[in-house]
Amino acid sequence: DLIDLSGATMYEKAFASCTSFKAVKFVSANVKGSAVFSGCSSLESVTVDGQDCAEGSWDFDDNGNIVVNG
């Protein structure tokens, strides 16, 4: 199932280590902290600003930019 977080503001570690998300969609401008999806091992699909990102585990730098690990 897709979780659409495009209208939400996400702060540091908001969903860290959440294992129930399989697909998320959001707008990068709404990310206000780092490591928002760090350790989300079940993520299979991430869409940022309408662009699909490659599979992997997801993290963010201090500016809210997505960083792909793995």
b/e sequence 10-24, b meaning 16+ C-beta within 10 Å? beeebbeebeebeeb
Task: Give, as one character, the DSSP assignment of residue 22.
Answer: S
Under 8 Å between Cβ of 25 and 42: no
What tens-digit pLDDT sequence spans the chain (70 residues)?
Answer: 789 999 999 998 888 888 888 889 988 888 887 788 878 888 888 888 888 876 655 667 776 666 665 4
Under 8 Å between Cβ of 54 and 43: no
Alpha helices by DSSP H, listed for 1-70, are none
